[in-house]
Amino acid sequence: MGFGPVSVGSALTESVNLTNSGTVAVNISQAMISGTGFTIVGGSSMAPLPAGQSTTVQVRFAPQSAAAVTGTMTVMSDATNSPLSVSLSGTGTATPQPLISANPASAIFGSVADGIINSQSILLQNTGNATLTFSNIAVTGAGFSATGLSTSTTIAAGGSATFNVIFDPSSGGAVNGSIVLTTNGTPSQLTIPVSGTGVVATYQLSASPTSLSFSNVNVNTSSQLTTTLTNTGNSNVTISSLSVSGAGFSASGVSNGLVLQPAQTATLTVAFDPTVTGLVSGADVMITTNAGLLPIPLSGAGVQYSVSLTWDASTSSDVVGYYVYSSTTEGSGYVKLNPSSPVSSLQFTDTTVQAGVTYYYVVTAVDSSEVESADSTPAVASIP
């Protein structure tokens, strides 16, 4: 007797007919059964079965696992063909069932400033063997919400989906809540705890260093210094405008509309390119933000440094002029200062020098064939 496929957790009962085909009554003494999941649940009593009559035995198949199962029912009697054996077979099949889980199992936001929206992603997985559906999504806790998930969402067997938990506090204080997902799966209600603390919003922007001093910079040359802007509050700071005052100063690296999140930094670069000599004071970079005004004082002096060189004339009769070289490293890295043509005089003024740098100079004599002599003895000039 075959029971066909039966879902695990369910049961199917079939009747087995026993017929006395002889000429005298048959006494049934015992009915036994073997095979996992098969049981006798009802049937004829052990009274004599008259000749030509039939009786039934009720056999139930309740599979315990998803697998094919065989068994035997054995009937003991005083019939000539006793014992009578009846083969049994059935197949257990897995019950279609979605299984839902969440990773992470909770959403902990910590401290969030009022007015700031924070988000965390939750991965839902269906590890069952049937499609998961949602009948209700309930969110509790002031400031909490969920996006990316609705009652029309489905997750196929073995599949996953991601949604976002949003925390947007409107006042200070700790908030505890939950997201309860009602589904056709197991568990039928999945609860995801959520928590966070709303704190009073603070807006603060700081600079380090707080001022920039360029000291002496050669006229018509440029020098750069930087300062780091840091959002030291707990709310976003928006830079709405930036202005620079003071002749020769300019700024770059920070643009209008830049938003700095808490603890985020930006580098402001200030250049000083004086065109005249003299001290420039009272200058600044003024940064306007929703945290207020942040001034960064600037100072610097335009100077005109130069090095005047003189040398003795070459003793060679065919010398037509001299080339002058400089380097900031003694003995190497020399660069020709008058590459277009040699100077015919015995002097040269270098106006490209920078404050705080030491320069090394050598001179070569050149003849009409452009053949240069060896370098002169280096001359040293240290710019204050």
Where are the chain's structural domains? 2-93, 100-199, 205-303, 307-382
- How high is the mean pLDDT of the chain? 93
At residue 319, the pLDDT reads: 95
How far is 152 from 76, CA to CA, in rounded Å? 60
pLDDT tens-place string over residues 302-315: 988 899 999 999 98
At residue 9, the pLDDT reads: 76
147 DSSP β-pair partners = 164
Q: Is the pLDDT of residue 46 over 70?
A: no
The pLDDT of 87-116, averaged and rounded, is: 90
Q: Is the pLDDT of residue 47 over 80?
A: no
Query: Could you tell me the pTM of the whole model?
Result: 0.53
Q: Is the pLDDT of residue 355 over 80?
A: no
Pick from 287, 296, 300, 333: which is nearest to 222 by CA?
300
Q: What is the CATH code of the structural domain delimited by 100-199?
A: 2.60.40.10
CATH of 205-303 among 3.90.1200.10, 2.60.40.10, 3.20.20.70, 3.40.50.300: 2.60.40.10
The pLDDT of 115-124, averaged and rounded, is: 93
Neighbour count for residue 245 (Cβ, 10 Å):
13
Helix (H) or strand (E) holding 251: strand 249-252
Q: Is the pLDDT of residue 172 over 70?
A: yes
Report the Cα 200 to chain-centroid distance in Å: 27
- 2-93 folds as Immunoglobulin-like (2.60.40)
The band of 66, judged by pLDDT with boundaries at 50, 70 and 90, is: confident
pLDDT tens-place string over residues 219-255: 888 999 999 999 999 889 999 999 999 999 999 999 9
Query: Is 307-382 the same fold as 205-303?
Result: yes
Pick from 305, 315, 301, 321: which is nearest to 367 by CA?
321
Concatenating the DSSP letter of every residue in 40-57 gives EEEE--SS-B-TT-EEEE
CATH of 307-382 among 3.40.50.800, 3.40.50.2300, 3.10.450.50, 2.60.40.10: 2.60.40.10
How far is 72 from 224, CA to CA, in rounded Å? 95
- Computed over its alpha carbons, how large is the radius of gyration of the chain? 48
How far is 190 from 182, CA to CA, in rounded Å? 7
Pick from 82, 84, 58, 62: which is nearest to 72 by CA?
84
Pair type for strands 189-199 and 107-113: parallel
At residue 44, the pLDDT reads: 60
Pair type for strands 154-155 and 132-140: antiparallel
The pLDDT of 172-187, averaged and rounded, is: 95
How far is 67 from 230, CA to CA, in rounded Å? 66
- b or e along 131-164 (b: 16 or more beta carbons within 10 Å of the residue's beta carbon)? ebebeebeeebebbebeebeeebebeeeeebebe
Place of tokens 């003849």: 367
Q: Residue 330: which residues within 8 A CB-CB, separation 6 or more?
A: 360, 378, 380
The band of 45, judged by pLDDT with boundaries at 50, 70 and 90, is: low
The pLDDT of 45-55, averaged and rounded, is: 82
Ranges 44-48, 91-95, 213-217, 221-225: which has the least confidence: 44-48
Q: Is the pLDDT of residue 43 over 80?
A: no
How far is 381 from 111, CA to CA, in rounded Å? 60
Q: Dihedral of CA 65/70/72/73: which sign?
A: positive
pLDDT tens-place string over residues 24-33: 999 888 889 9
